Amino acid sequence: MNFNQINDRKDLANYIGVKPSFLTYHLYHNPKIKRNQHYTEFEISKKSGGTRIIAAPNKKLKIIQKKLAYQLNEYLISLGFYRNNKNIHAFIKENKANKRGIISNSKIHRNKKYVVNIDLLNFFESIHFGRVKGYFQSDDKFNLSKDIATIIAQICTYKGSLPQGAPTSPIISNLIGSILDSKILKLTKKYKLHFTRYADDITFSTNDHKFLENFEVFNKELSRIIESAGFKINTSKTRLQFRKSRQQVTGLVVNEKLNIPRDYYKKTRAMANNLYKNDEFEIDGKIASRNQLEGRFSFINQLEWYNNKKIKNKKNSYRCLSGKEKEYQRFIFYNYFIKSESLVLITEGKTDSLYIKAALKKYWKKYPKFIIKNDDGKFSFKIIFLNKTKRLNYFFGINKDGADSLIYLYNHYKGINGANNLAEYFKKFNCKYSNPIIMLFDNEINDKGKPLKKIYNHVKFNKEELHNNLYVNLINNLYIATTPLIGSRNHSEIEDLFPKETLDEGIKGRPFTKDENYNRKKNCGKDEFSKYIYNNYNEINFENFIPLLDALYKI
């Protein structure tokens, strides 16, 4: 079924993947919530100054909107909508080969004689209920009935227009904005202009020397087109930029190669230094969050990545970071490892985390600093189970699939083997470490080639202390912990902590195996087994996990 085959509310609910009763109840029949109470409003600071009102939908409505946005996106991909609308650069979710964003939006206008920036006034608010309903009724891609178009408009609007904060607003703004784009494209051909739109930011550029003398006429024609499409220009933000001055497009300098404005980077670095010194910093005179600073560094780093692609695939890339990347690396180290919000546990593999979580769920009353049970019966973990992202791999060498790569994290604490001495760098700020960072290894310290043996050879910590306590402090707040030995064995992997009968029974009589090339009909592997353990924790014997959990608790 396609969107234009939806005939009634039941079809719509089934198409987006919710029960018809769920859709109906949360739109019409929930007596506890009036329509405008489906949202929570709050303010956020704009990069350019001032504030923006965000209206966030409640949990149930957000589910409906996310599913609708997903299906709309898939439908548009199948129609080639993005391929046919190359001037749109915001809110595109297609594929890596067609990745669009601030960089793709800006690079089209690089090294041009003239650059013109236009801002649409109250962009989302201009797309009101009637426009959404009318679009889905009349556009050839949809041709929906009045009733279905009305329901979609009800799902997507708040106080009569698209709210900033709803998952559906970006994709619907692109759909309705594409009508404006098609009209503008005709004008750009007349004036020999390049044209892109990033949400409410419209940019034109050209090397045609005659453009300057035609600018006023062009501006009047553009204003008429924009107003006829139901939008207005924010005249206070219209800018004509010349090659000899700094030209900016969606926050990036485009005179020659794409670049971050120098003052933006300097302010970001100053904010970070204030954070390191005082444990707080400001943006536009207001106390800001680390997430906001993360966003600024991520924005800067995105451009560094684009401008230096040739070195990005190099192994141990942390050894050849640019100055801006080193600043970001320091912030990540501070955020993740110095001032982590709670204990950070770094396991060898993703299955290990599920075993630890399952054991904590079983013994949640015994470890209240690690886990709590909420009033609704669901658990909340107070441990951060570190996700080994591509970013951590790039900046610290922490490989997703290599447990022995955790050696690189130790190197950054010490400043050895080409790693930056980050612990030493933060000494000048008198930073105090908030919580322990624990690297958990299988107990194979005597087995050549195993991760724990490798890190022991590298660090030379007290082997007896590790054996007696199951943990040892390496430096500052960085610890190693290991699994307890069972019986007379001289090594253990985390699966060895389960009783033999649990491993032999496996899943429905299929025994657990560590073999990667196993027969799925006869055995169950690590991934499947760990998920089974996590979902059936109440039935599993975790007694052998208690010494390990106690050791983590002592740390």
pLDDT of residue 402: 67
The rounded distance, in Å, linking the Cα atoms of 343 and 63 is 31
pLDDT of residue 316: 65
Q: How many CB atoms lie within 10 A of CB 350?
A: 15
Structure-block tokens of residue 56: 């966030």
Cβ contacts of 104 within 8 Å, gap of 6 or more:
89
Collapse the DSSP code of 16 into the 3-class scheme (helix H, G, I; strand E, B; otherwise coil) and give the result: helix
The rounded distance, in Å, linking the Cα atoms of 453 and 466 is 12
pLDDT digits (tens, 9 = 90+) for 284-326: 888 999 999 999 999 999 888 888 764 555 566 777 888 999 9
Q: Where are the alpha helices (DSSP H) in 320-460?
A: 323-333, 350-362, 390-396, 407-414, 422-425, 451-459
Structure-block tokens of residue 344: 């950070």
Strand pairing category for 39-45 and 471-475: unpaired
Nearest to 271 by CA among 252, 251, 285, 257: 285
pLDDT digits (tens, 9 = 90+) for 467-519: 999 999 999 999 999 999 998 888 999 999 999 999 999 999 999 999 988 99
pLDDT of residue 38: 83
Pairs from 540-545 (Cβ < 8 Å, separation ≥ 24): 540/358, 540/362, 540/498, 540/502, 541/498, 541/499, 541/502, 542/358, 542/359, 542/362, 542/363, 542/497, 544/484, 544/486, 544/496, 544/497, 544/498, 544/499, 545/355, 545/356, 545/359, 545/497
pTM for this structure?
A: 0.85
Answer whether 497's CB lies under 8 Å from 508's CB: no
pLDDT of residue 80: 92
The rounded distance, in Å, linking the Cα atoms of 496 and 177 is 59
The rounded distance, in Å, linking the Cα atoms of 230 and 226 is 7
Phi-psi region at 120: left, alpha or beta (left = phi > 0; alpha = psi -120 to 50): beta
Low-confidence ranges of the chain (pLDDT < 50): 31-32, 310
Answer whether 231's CB lies under 8 Å from 124's CB: no
Q: Which segments within 158-263 are labelled E, that is strand?
A: 194-198, 201-206, 239-242, 248-249, 252-253
What's the full length of the chain, in residues?
555
